Structure 1
Amino acid sequence: MHVLTLTTYADAPFMTQQMAALEERGVSFSTVSVAGEVSADTARGPTDYLRTVPKVIREAGNGYDLIHAHYGLTAPMALAQRQTPVVLSLWGSDVHGPVKPISVASAPLCDEVIVMSEGMRSELGQDCRVIPDGVDLERFQPKPQARAREAVGWDDVGDAYQVLFPYPPEREVKNLPRAKRIVSVVDNLLERPVELRVVHGVDHDAVADYMNAADALLLTSDSEGSPNSVKEALACNLPVVALDVGDVRERLAGVSPSHVATTDEELIDGLINVLQREERSNGREAARDVSIDRTTDQLLEVYEQVAGTEKRTRPRVTAAVDAVARRHH
C-alpha cells in the first residue's frame, strides 16, 4: 500500500513515529508539506496553502492508494483532487480553535476522519474514528531516576523536586505562565524546593530520559486532543498533574499517583500530593491501551478499508479551498 501524506509539520514526532510503525507493516509513504516556513514568529499565510494545491494535485496522480491529510488545514488541498480516497486526521487545535470551521466543512467529504479523543468527536459533531496517537513502549519505559538525571545533566539538583513542562514557551495554548504560577505557589508551601523544568527542542529519543529524571509532569494546556506527553509519562511511570483537557481524564483513570484538575487550587493540591508521596506511578499498564502497536493495528484497518473503496469523482471543493484563504484575512 502506498500513501501520500499531507502535513503542515513534516517533523512532528508522533506522526513520523506512527508512519515508521506502519512502514514495518508494509505501507510506504511519500510526503508533501505545506509550502512556506513556520516558526514561533512566523505563520504560514493563505498563499502558502493555495500554492501547495497544484503540487498535491500533480502528486496525487501518481497512483497512491489513499491520501492521509494531517491537520484540518490540509483537508481542502487533499480534496482538491477528485479520485484518490482521503483519510483526514485532526490533531486537536483544528477542532477546538479557529481552524474548526474548515475541519467541519471538510470532514463530510473525506472517506474517513480520525480524531484523538471522544471530546474531539463530540466537538466535531460528525461520525469519525477515535484513534489516539500511539506511544512507543520500547522507547518510553521506566529507568532509574539517578541514571536519568545524570543523562540530562540534572545530577546536581540536590533535594529539589523537578516538575517537567515539556513544551516550547511560545506555544500559548500550553499556558506556561499558568504552570509557573502553580509551581511558584507549591514551592512556597513545601519545605523542599520545587523547580519547573521547561524542556523543548531536544531530540525525541532524549525525552524519555527527562520523563524518568522528573518527579512529576505538569500539563496546564488551554485545550488538547490527546496529549502525547501524558501518554509518554505514563509509559515511564511518571506521575502526572494535568488540567481536564482532551482525553486526559480517560488516560489517567486508575493511575496513581496522578491528578486531574479543573482549577488552579486543584492543580496546586494535586501537585503537592504527588510530590510529597515521592512515588512513581502505575501508569505503564494504562499506557498499553495506547501503545503504538495497538494504534498501528487500528490505522492499518482504516487504510485497508478506505483503499478498498471504489474510487469516485468527488464534489468540487473550491469553497473549502477558499475558506483557507478567508481564515487568514
Structure 2
Amino acid sequence: MKILYVTNMYPSASYTYNGIHVKEQIDYLTKNYPLEKDIYFIDGGHSKINYFKSIFRANHLIKKTDYDVVHVHFGLSGLFLLVNPFLKTPVVLTIHGSDINSPKHFGLMRLVTKMIIPLVDRVIILNDKMLSKLSSQREKLVKIPCGINIDQFDSERINDGKKFVIGFPGNKDREVKNYPLFREIVTSVAARGVQVETVEFHNMTRAEVALNLSRLDCLLMTSHSEGSPQIIKEAMAGGVPIISANVGDVELVISDVENCCVINTYDPGDYIDEIMKLTALEPQQRITNGKHKLSLLGFDQQSVCSKVYELYRSLAK
C-alpha cells in the first residue's frame, strides 16, 4: 500500500520535538508493514501561509500519484479537502486535541476541523471526550491513542535527592499548557521550604527526554486541554509520579497507578497538597508501576500501529 501523510505535526530543524510521536508512528508502520510513504509537511509554525499553499500542493500530490490511503494528522492539515470534497482516495483523519478543543480565534480551528470531518472516511480519536464532542459522526470514529516505545523511556532513575525536580510537560509559551498555574504551584511549594528545580520538556531529542524524565520526582500537568498526551505515557514508562489536571485521557491512563493523581480543579492548593505528599517520601520511593499499566492498556507502539494498519487495509482501494 502507498500512503500519503499530510500533517502539520512533524519534526523540523527549528522545532525538533514537533509531532515526534507522529513521525515515530509513521516510521514504525513503514518499517514493520508493507507500506510505502510520502510525507507532505505543512510548516504552519514557520508561516500560516503554508496552510493555504497546502490546499493546492496536497491535491496536486494526490492527483499525480495513485495513493491507496491519505492519512491526515490534525484538523487544519485537511484544508485541501474543502476544495476537493469528492476525492476518491480514502482519507483517514487523526484528531490530536487542540484541533477539536481550541476556543481560540472564535473556535475557528474547531470549526474547520468539523467542516473537514464529513469529508473523510474514518476519524481516529484519542479519548472518549472526543467521542462525546463528535457524536453526530459516531459511525466514522475509531479510538486509537498514539503509542510509544515503552523501553525507550524505561531508564534508571538518577535523582540524587538534593532537589525536588518537577517537570513541565510542554512549551510554556503555549497558552493551552497553562504555565501560569504551574509557576504558581511551584512557587508555593518552594515557599514551604522545598528546594525545587523545574524542567521544561520542549524541543528535546528523544534521548534528552528520557534522560530528563529519569531526573524527575514529579511530572506536573496543568493544561487546559489535551488529547492523549505522549509525555504522560513517557513518564509512566519511566516510573515517574504524575500529578495532572483531568484533561484528555489522563484519568484513564494513570488511574490506579501508584503515586499518581488526577485533579478535577484548577485550584493551586489541590496540586500543592499532592506534591507535598510526594516530598514526604524518600527519593527512592517516588516511583510508579506505570510501565505495567501502559502494557495493560495496549499503548505500546506495536499494539497501536497494528490497529492503524488494519484500518488502512479496510479502506484501501
Task: Assess same fold via TM > 0.5.
Answer: yes
Match of 1:291 among 293, 300, 306: 300
Within 5 Å, give how 1:203-282 maps onto structure 2. Answer: 203-261=205-263, 262-263=265-266, 264-277=268-281, 278=283, 279-282=286-289
The equivalent residue for 1:172 is 175
Q: Which moved more, 1:50-59 or 1:217-226?
A: 50-59
CA contact (8 A) 2:241 2:260 kept: yes
Deviation at 1:138, TM superposition (A): 2.2
The equivalent residue for 1:93 is 98
The equivalent residue for 1:25 is 33
2:75 is the counterpart of 1:72: yes
Runs (4 or more) in structure 1 with deviation over 3 Å come to: 78-81
Query: Take 1:299 and 1:198, find their aligned partners in 2: how far apart are those partners?
Result: 31
Q: Report the secondary structure of 2:25's partner residue.
A: helix
Query: Take 1:37 and 1:245, find their aligned partners in 2: how far apart are those partners?
Result: 25
Opposite residue 279 of structure 2, the aligned amino acid is L
Opposite residue 31 of structure 1, the aligned amino acid is I
- CA deviations on 1:222-265 (whole Å, 9 max, x unpaired) are 11011111011011110000000111100011101011112322
CA contact (8 A) 1:142 1:212 kept: yes
Deviation at 1:122, TM superposition (A): 1.0
CA contact (8 A) 1:238 1:280 kept: yes
Q: Report the secondary structure of 2:294's partner residue.
A: helix
Query: Structure 1 residues 89, 283: closer, same or farther in 2, change over 3 A?
Result: same
Deviation at 1:8, TM superposition (A): 1.3
Opposite residue 177 of structure 1, the aligned amino acid is P
Query: Take 1:88 and 1:110, find their aligned partners in 2: how far apart are those partners?
Result: 7
CA contact (8 A) 1:66 1:87 kept: yes
CA contact (8 A) 1:174 1:222 kept: yes
In structure 1, the gaps of 5 or more residues are 147-154, 309-329
CA contact (8 A) 1:79 1:86 kept: no
Structure showing greater relative contact order (alpha-carbon pairs closer than 8 Å, 6 or more residues apart): 1
Task: Give the number of equivalent residue pairs.
Answer: 291
Opposite residue 85 of structure 1, the aligned amino acid is P
Query: Take 1:266 and 1:187, find their aligned partners in 2: how far apart are those partners?
Result: 16
Deviation at 1:196, TM superposition (A): 2.1
Query: Structure 1 residues 29, 160: closer, same or farther in 2, change over 3 A?
Result: same
Within 5 Å, give how 1:75-224 maps onto structure 2. Answer: 75-78=78-81, 80-81=83-84, 82-97=87-102, 98=107, 99-125=109-135, 126-127=137-138, 128-146=141-159, 159-189=162-192, 191-224=193-226
The equivalent residue for 1:305 is 314
Deviation at 1:188, TM superposition (A): 1.8
Opposite residue 7 of structure 1, the aligned amino acid is T
In structure 2, the gaps of 5 or more residues are 12-18
CA contact (8 A) 2:54 2:79 kept: no
Tell me the C-alpha RMSD between the 2 structures. 1.7
Query: Structure 1 residues 284, 221: closer, same or farther in 2, change over 3 A?
Result: same
Query: Take 2:83 and 2:28, find their aligned partners in 1: how far apart are those partners?
Result: 28
Q: Which moved more, 1:199-208 or 1:232-241?
A: 199-208
Query: Take 1:197 and 1:137, find their aligned partners in 2: how far apart are those partners?
Result: 21
- CA deviations on 1:191-238 (whole Å, 9 max, x unpaired) are 431222223222123211111111110101011011111011011110
TM-score (norm 2): 0.87
Q: Which moved more, 1:192-201 or 1:203-212?
A: 192-201
Deviation at 1:78, TM superposition (A): 4.0
TM-score (norm 1): 0.84
CA contact (8 A) 2:9 2:22 kept: no
Percent identical pairs in the alignment equals 28
